[in-house]
Amino acid sequence: MQYPNGLKKNSFQQTRSRESFSNRGMTLEEDINETNNYYLHTNKAIIHKKPTPVQIVRVHYPKRSAAVITEGYFKQASTTDYNGLYRNQYIDFEAKETKNKTLFPLANIHEHQLNHMRSIVEHGGISFLIIRFTLYNETYFLKAQTLFSCWDEKEIGGKKSIPYEKIKQEGYLIPWKYTTRVDYLQIIDKLYF
């Protein structure tokens, strides 16, 4: 029997199960938010997603009870995605996903974000990058210092990306878990405590 997508029942079911396993229906941000909620509810850490500052300019009211924002602008460049406290230490990090198989483009990081991360490290905080390679379903913890050296190399004419192999070697694979989907605190414990 053929189904609307042209696949037979068995191959259709296999394709769907591979898709649901490969991304588990979640984005990196959603996985980190779930992990942070777990940390908060178990009193392990207080880490939140930073809101992006937006200036609302125009609002349309199609009904009295509903408002639709039709125009808005970013007030300022955002810094990193997440910040908070863990074991008396300030934590600040950026999270990025890529579909690239062989590298992470440094164009995915903005200079003001990198400068913010440098400032955090200079003041004694812990800063890092979480990178998910979606095609491999692998998530890595990359220390800010590794990111800084790759960025500095790019600035003097070097590579404009971080090779996947370098991330595998110098980064730390974060295994997927049910309750803590992106348990980056286990990496922080190994590196800093």
- Domain assignment present for residue 42? The answer is yes
Query: What pLDDT is stored for residue 19 in this prediction?
Result: 39
- Domain assignment present for residue 105? The answer is yes
* Band (9; pLDDT cuts 50, 70, 90): very low
- Domain assignment present for residue 127? The answer is yes
- Domain assignment present for residue 16? The answer is no
- pLDDT tens, residue by residue, 103-161: 999 999 999 999 999 999 999 999 999 999 999 999 999 999 999 999 999 999 999 99
- pLDDT tens, residue by residue, 42-83: 999 999 998 776 777 788 888 777 888 787 776 666 789 999
**DSSP secondary structure, the chain, as one string:** -B-TTS-BHHHHHHHHHHHHHHHTT--HHHHHHHHHHHHHHTTS-EEEEPPPPEEEEEEEEEETTEEEEEEEEESS----SEEEEETTEEEEEEEEEE--SSEEEGGGS-HHHHHHHHHHHHTT-EEEEEEEETTTTEEEEEEHHHHHHHHHHHHTT--SEEEHHHHHHHSEE----SSSTT-THHHHHHHH-
For residue 182, what is the domain's CATH number? Answer: 3.40.1350.10
Greater model confidence, 76 or 29: 29
- Domain assignment present for residue 12? The answer is no
- Domain assignment present for residue 143? The answer is yes
Structural domain range at position 153: 24-50+77-192
Query: What pLDDT is stored for residue 75 in this prediction?
Result: 63
- Domain assignment present for residue 64? The answer is no
Total count of domains within the chain: 1
- pLDDT tens, residue by residue, 91-106: 999 999 999 999 999 9
- What is the dihedral sign for C-alpha 23, 25, 27, 29? negative
How far is C-alpha 111 from the chain's CA centre? Answer: 17
- Domain assignment present for residue 137? The answer is yes
